[in-house]
């Protein structure tokens, strides 16, 4: 038993779930998402964007980024705004202070957590896909 653990340990530590692993851009999993016409539980202030997931610090980190505006010239630089999608109230509030306008207004932190919870689950399932995966609309 100890021999098997000795062989398996370096393989486990080499993976992206390692606490000290710093992800590269090609490890990010991406899925376009958009608000359905009559959806009432959409937590974001814009109607579409990218849900992303990456392993960092030994855990799955889920983000939502705005899509490139369709009226923006393809040669113009675009720096999308993004928010951390989590049920951790500290990360959800303080971690998103600079870009909190990407969330629709909520009356409380509890309401915002309730709204983002399904997207946290979807994003974490996205992290179960192979590194570099780009999942199509509605595939999770």
pLDDT tens column, 23-70: 777 888 899 999 988 888 999 999 999 999 988 888 889 999 999 888
Q: Given CA atoms 104, 109, 111, 116 in this order, what sign does their dihedral have?
A: positive
- Mean pLDDT score, 95-106: 94
Q: Which residue, among 38, 59, 30, 61, has the nearest Cα to 140 in the 3D structure?
A: 30
Containing domain of residue 33, as a range? 16-127
Radius of gyration over alpha carbons of the chain, in Å?
17
Residue 138 inside a domain? The answer is no
In this structure, of 69-73, 112-116, 131-135, the range with the lowest mean pLDDT score is: 131-135
Residue 133 inside a domain? The answer is no
What is the distance between the terminal CA atoms of the chain, rounded to a whole angstrom?
A: 37
- H or E element that contains 30: strand 29-34
Residue 9 inside a domain? The answer is no
Residue 80 inside a domain? The answer is yes
Residue 132 inside a domain? The answer is no
Residue 5 inside a domain? The answer is no
pLDDT at residue 12 above 70?
no
- 103: which strand partners? 44
* The pLDDT of residue 133: 72
Domain count, the chain: 1
Q: Give me the percent of the chain exceeding a pLDDT of 90.
A: 49
How confident is residue 138, by pLDDT bands cut at 50, 70 and 90? low
pLDDT at residue 131 above 90?
no
Residue 23 inside a domain? The answer is yes
Residue 1 inside a domain? The answer is no
């Amino acid at each position: 038993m100890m021999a098997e653990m000795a062989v398996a340990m370096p393989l486990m530590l080499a993976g992206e779930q390692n606490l000290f692993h710093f992800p590269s851009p090609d490890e990010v999993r991406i899925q376009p998402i958009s608000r359905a016409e009559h959806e009432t539980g959409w937590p974001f202030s814009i109607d579409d964007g990218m849900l992303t997931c990456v392993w960092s610090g030994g855990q799955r980190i889920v983000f939502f980024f705005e899509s490139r505006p369709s009226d923006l010239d393809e040669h113009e630089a675009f720096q999308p705004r993004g928010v951390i999608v989590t049920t951790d109230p500290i990360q959800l509030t303080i971690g998103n202070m600079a870009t909190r306008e990407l969330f629709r207004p909520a009356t409380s932190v509890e309401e915002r957590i309730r709204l983002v919870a399904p997207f946290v689950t979807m994003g974490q399932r996205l992290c179960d896909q192979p590194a570099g995966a780009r999942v199509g609309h509605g595939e999770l």
